[in-house]
Amino acid sequence: MRPRWTLGDAVRVTRNVRNDGTFPGIETGELLVRRGRIGHVRDVGTFLQDQVIYSVHFLDEGRIVGCREEELIDIDATWVENRFEVRQRVRAARALAIRGEVRVPLGSPGEILNLDRAEVQGVIYHVHFECLPGNPLQVPEAALTEWAARDG
């Protein structure tokens, strides 16, 4: 297990980082660092002997936060802003079809499982829709809309 970055390297965090209970003085679940922010690697370690963890100093936030390798990208990598977050509830902004058959009707509720950023395609979300259990779909950002508070 070789670390991708070393001390002093500039990196960008790809997800919002929230307090998992290990950051003192801040409530669990509170936002520590917003996605897209740039920091510098201060230390490299491991967790459970199978995950590389980087201590990243985010100067603007004045915080040193532990980040998993999968949450970081090179500072020179293209950054594509995303509208939705992992675990966020969304709705289908249009009917979604598989091989010509509508499988997700307009307005169907779902949850973001993951996302991929591509410079050309934009952000593609892995979404689990309640109407299609066990079959997450890869959906472009334009095909999703906000989950309104009144939606429950």
pLDDT tens digits, residue range 80-107?
888 888 889 999 999 999 999 999 999 9
- H-assigned helices in the chain: none
* pLDDT at 23 exceeding the cut of 90: no
The pTM (predicted TM-score) of the whole model is: 0.68
Cβ atoms within 10 Å, residue 73: 16
* Domains in the chain, number: 2
Per-residue pLDDT, 103: 94
Question: Same domain, yes or no, for 68 and 97?
Answer: no
**25, 40, 74 — which closes off a domain?**
74
Last residue of a domain, which of 50, 74, 98?
A: 74
Residue 17 and residue 61 in one domain: yes
Q: Answer yes or no: are the C-beta atoms of 56 and 64 closer than 8 Å.
A: yes
147 and 106 fall within a common domain: yes
Are 67 and 111 part of one and the same domain?
no
The tens digit of pLDDT for each residue in 42-55 reads: 988 877 777 888 99
65 and 98 both lie in a single domain: no
Q: What is the largest CA-CA distance in the chain?
A: 53
Cα separation of the two ends of the chain: 43
Distance in angstroms (rounded) separating the CA atoms of residues 36 and 13:
5
Using one digit for the tens of pLDDT, what is the confidence trace for 130-143? Answer: 999 999 999 999 99
Residue 131 in domain:
yes
SS3 150: helix
Give residue 21's domain range: 10-74
